[in-house]
Amino acid sequence: MPEMNETAAPDRIRELRAQIERHNDLYYHQAAPEISDREFDALLRELQDLESAHPDLAIPDSPTLHVGGRPLEEFLPAKHLAPMQSLDNTYSADELREFIIRLRKLAEDRPLHFTIEPKVDGVAISILYEHGRLVRAATRGDGTTGDDVTQNVRTISNVPHRLSGRPPAKIEVRGEIYLPKSVFASLNTERDEEGLPPFANPRNAAAGSIKQLDPAITASRKLAAVFYGTGFWEGEHPVTGRTLLASLEKWGLPVPEKILEASDTDGVVTAVESLGSIRHNFVYETDGAVIKLDNIALRREFGSTAKAPRWAIAYKYEPERAETRLLDITVQVGRTGTLTPVAELSPVFVSGSTISRATLHNEEEIQRKDIRIGDTVLVEKAGEVIPAVVEVKKACRTGEERLFQMPTNCPSCMGSLHKDGVAWKCNNPSCPAQVRRRIEYFASKQAMDIEGLGEALVNQLVDASLLANIADIYALEKAPLLALERMGEKSASNLIAAIDESRSRPLWRLLNGLGIPHVGVTSARDLASHFHTIDALKAADVPTLLSIHSIGAIMAEAIHTWFQSADNIALLDALRSAGLNLGELDEAAPPTDTRLAGTNWVLTGTLSISREEASDIIRRHGGKITGSVSKKTTHLLAGEDAGSKLAKASALGIPVMNETAFREITAQE
């Protein structure tokens, strides 16, 4: 860093502190970072160097001395039993060697052994288990106090609610909540279809998901977790980090799938490089490797700085980017009519595969990055999954590059367009491109799950005039199918059987598959649980829709409008005639009486029956279920180990009912 005079240093320090605090807020609280980790670390290091050079300008609350961000007001605070620190970062093999040299000096000739594991790019989490039972989950927050996200973490399928074996009576386990790369790809595809801004990477998506106020939304995101260490540990502690991880795994906690070991500097550097070469094979995104001293007694002896342990460091990998030429920008039409510009690239190898196309999301994204046809661009895979144009090399421009303009008509049907937020949409519901995408989505696993009816076959069927809309799926017969190229007797029979099987799918799958604007899996489930039949949903007005916890004003209006359309009414009539379940065959029974009519319930803690059973009892008696406590909540059903919801209900004066009282008011007369 160049020397700075006494006059300029205070201004630059103030500027850096303001920038870092702003970027901390964007990263930790809004899940919308504007700069890369490397750019952020450069700002932080510059501030550290300036504060070291000018100690009279150091302050106790400098961002160089604290971790992460403040707890959010929407969640109850959760104080960690042991501080939750972050790691120092390096991007240099030379700095990694210097780290090991420092440890050897501290060790005074004692032998050192290291573990090297993937650095999962997720959201740090600390989970407290007491007598093997999950009692609290908290984000990192400022390192001392985080946000209580217990109910959301309970929805993560690979986080055990109760540990196996004989864990300590009280222990904090530390790890990362992440969004699997495959789920990230599907989530961004859905957001593109709805004209919503895509998540930049799986870490942002995971952060946004774990901070949802409604646990049902968190559950729909299919998060996962991996654990790598501990905070507070009651009783005798393991001797090494390796035995600690083995204990976590024995108790049923997922641990890093690849852990390497080394005892010298060259071995550590080699292990870091080895992990880097296979990191694309992991289900989660990794942005580096974590090097830890294995001996836990030495970890305690070497201690930590104000914000990071001295015995560990994170080596950050350079993002894999490739330079190529943007040959053209084409426009795709999605199932909801959204027009999505796509970069057509000169093929280039990135992160394990050759890519020739990358989504540009919308017109505003192109203008913001000043992307032009003919540009030399840098591309990488967001979350190592989705190809993205991350930078334009403007210095390479020749003057022959062309500005892109969105078409004034739909490129598929030449129909008119309208602007919906940042997205342009086709007005023609019979647009061939929309028809194809709607049929594909309707048949997909997250909707009606019709095995065999994928993109290639849908295109064949539409081109052969065998499918013009969703309802036509149920009129398909074997003979016309056999006339299609590469369609044999067995394939045709399997497809007809899969279509027949889909007629009895539950109502929520149908609602999700219909392509109602803004309705996804979670809201489809909520609508099906509330209305039970499509006829009841069709008859609902906007105020009735707004009474459902997860339905907001925009979604309510969109749902109501969709069910007023003559084309959509005709589609529903056709599906009814084809024998589809429109809710009447679902197992959830209509209310048997109305003693709980007008009540809104939230469930918390451990009950003697499953939450699904308790929810079904409430619905059968006319009550409604929501995911989080609010002013609309009328009752809280609390089992054992009730957490933040109980505290919030008590603060709001909401009646709290135990299971005994609940059984009394719902008992059959």
Angle ∠(371,374,376) on CA atoms, nearest 5 = 70
The more confident residue out of 351 and 418 is 418
Separation of alpha carbons 444 and 437, rounded Å: 10
> What pLDDT does 309 receive?
92
Is 668 a residue whose pLDDT tops 70?
no
Q: Has residue 16 been placed in a domain?
A: yes
Q: Has residue 35 been placed in a domain?
A: yes
Q: Sorting pLDDT into bands at 50, 70 and 90, what band is 591?
A: low
CATH classification at residue 546? 1.10.150.20
CA 184 to chain centroid: 6
Separation of alpha carbons 128 and 146, rounded Å: 13
Closest CA to 175 of 127, 143, 222: 127
Please count the other Cβ atoms lying within 10 Å of the Cβ belonging to residue 226: 23
Same domain, 498 and 627: no
- Helix/strand/coil for 78: strand
Check: CB of residue 264 under 8 Å from CB of residue 14: no
Separation of alpha carbons 53 and 658, rounded Å: 61
Listed range (191-195, 292-296, 315-319, 358-362) with the worst mean pLDDT: 191-195
Q: Has residue 127 been placed in a domain?
A: yes
Separation of alpha carbons 457 and 462, rounded Å: 9
Q: Sorting pLDDT into bands at 50, 70 and 90, what band is 669?
A: very low
For residues 30, 36, 41, 43, the Cα torsion angle rounded to the nearest 10 degrees is -80
Same domain, 126 and 263: yes
Strand order in the sheet with 133-139: 133-139, 123-130, 170-178, 224-233
pLDDT in tens, 120-177: 988 999 999 999 999 999 999 888 999 899 988 988 889 999 999 999 999 999 999 9
- Helix/strand/coil for 395: helix
% helix / strand / coil in the chain, to the nearest 5? 40, 20, 40
> What pLDDT does 32 receive?
60
From 458, 475, 502, the end of a domain falls on 502
Closest CA to 443 of 422, 465, 469: 469
Do the strands 353-359 and 339-350 form a parallel or antiparallel pair, or are they unpaired? antiparallel
Q: Has residue 443 been placed in a domain?
A: yes
Q: Has residue 72 been placed in a domain?
A: no
Same domain, 178 and 297: yes
Same domain, 375 and 462: no
Q: Has residue 102 been placed in a domain?
A: yes
Same domain, 550 and 439: no
Q: Model's pTM, two decimal places?
A: 0.53
Same domain, 297 and 345: no
Separation of alpha carbons 475 and 492, rounded Å: 13
Q: Sorting pLDDT into bands at 50, 70 and 90, what band is 211?
A: confident
Is 378 a residue whose pLDDT tops 80?
yes
> What pLDDT does 370 receive?
94
> What pLDDT does 404 receive?
95
CA 292 to chain centroid: 28
- Helix/strand/coil for 287: strand
Measured CA distances, 656 to 103, 128, 604 (Å)? 54, 25, 10
Q: Sorting pLDDT into bands at 50, 70 and 90, what band is 268?
A: very high
pLDDT in tens, 320-370: 788 999 999 999 998 888 899 999 999 988 776 788 998 888 888 899 899
Q: Sorting pLDDT into bands at 50, 70 and 90, what band is 31?
A: low
Check: CB of residue 621 under 8 Å from CB of residue 600: no
Do the strands 339-350 and 322-333 form a parallel or antiparallel pair, or are they unpaired? antiparallel
Q: Has residue 15 been placed in a domain?
A: yes
Closest CA to 571 of 438, 432, 409: 438
Indicate the number of domains in the chain: 6
pLDDT in tens, 472-495: 999 999 999 999 988 999 999 999
pLDDT in tens, 419-455: 887 889 999 988 989 989 899 999 988 899 999 998 8
Question: What is the rounded average pLDDT for all residues in the chain?
Answer: 85
Do the strands 353-359 and 286-293 form a parallel or antiparallel pair, or are they unpaired? unpaired
**Single-letter residue type at 123:** V
Catalytic pick among 119, 222, 316, 381: 119
From 271, 300, 316, the end of a domain falls on 316
Is 260 a residue whose pLDDT tops 90?
yes
Same domain, 511 and 634: no
Decide if 394 is catalytic.
no
Name residue 261's beta-bridge partners: 115
Same domain, 513 and 497: no
Check: CB of residue 50 under 8 Å from CB of residue 13: yes
> What pLDDT does 505 receive?
93
Who's near 92: CB < 8 A, 6+ residues apart?
none
Closest CA to 123 of 89, 144, 149, 145: 149
Angle ∠(633,126,73) on CA atoms, nearest 5 = 40
Is 71 a residue whose pLDDT tops 60?
no
> What pLDDT does 633 receive?
86
> What pLDDT does 643 receive?
67
- Measured in residues, the chain has a length of 669
Same domain, 276 and 237: yes
Please count the other Cβ atoms lying within 10 Å of the Cβ belonging to residue 342: 16
Closest CA to 179 of 29, 31, 314, 354: 31
Same domain, 611 and 624: yes
Name residue 290's beta-bridge partners: 117, 314
From 316, 346, 365, the end of a domain falls on 316
Separation of alpha carbons 451 and 453, rounded Å: 6
Q: Has residue 586 been placed in a domain?
A: no
> For 591, which DSSP code?
P
CATH classification at residue 389? 2.40.50.140
CATH classification at residue 659? 3.40.50.10190
Is 612 a residue whose pLDDT tops 60?
no
Is 514 a residue whose pLDDT tops 50?
yes
Q: Sorting pLDDT into bands at 50, 70 and 90, what band is 67?
A: low
> What pLDDT does 66 receive?
59
The more confident residue out of 253 and 285 is 253
Check: CB of residue 374 under 8 Å from CB of residue 326: yes
Check: CB of residue 635 under 8 Å from CB of residue 654: yes
Exposure b/e, 170-194, CB count within 10 A at least 16 = b: ebbbbbbbbbbbebbbebbeebbbb
Check: CB of residue 205 under 8 Å from CB of residue 197: no
Is 28 a residue whose pLDDT tops 60?
no
> What pLDDT does 426 receive?
93
> What pLDDT does 16 receive?
81
Sign of CA dihedral 195, 201, 204, 208: positive
pLDDT in tens, 72-92: 556 788 999 999 988 888 888
Same domain, 284 and 156: yes
pLDDT in tens, 383-410: 556 788 888 999 999 999 999 999 999 9
Check: CB of residue 46 under 8 Å from CB of residue 118: no
Closest CA to 442 of 432, 452, 450: 450
> For 492, which DSSP code?
H
Is 545 a residue whose pLDDT tops 50?
yes
Closest CA to 656 of 629, 638, 630: 638
Check: CB of residue 124 under 8 Å from CB of residue 206: no
- Helix/strand/coil for 511: helix
Domain encompassing residue 556: 507-577
pLDDT in tens, 12-21: 888 788 777 7
Is 647 a residue whose pLDDT tops 90?
no
Please count the other Cβ atoms lying within 10 Å of the Cβ belonging to residue 451: 14
Same domain, 231 and 334: no
Closest CA to 511 of 500, 499, 519, 501: 519
DSSP string, 234-284: -SPPPSBHHHHHHHHHHTT----S--EEESSHHHHHHHHHHHHHHGGGSSS
Is 27 a residue whose pLDDT tops 90?
no
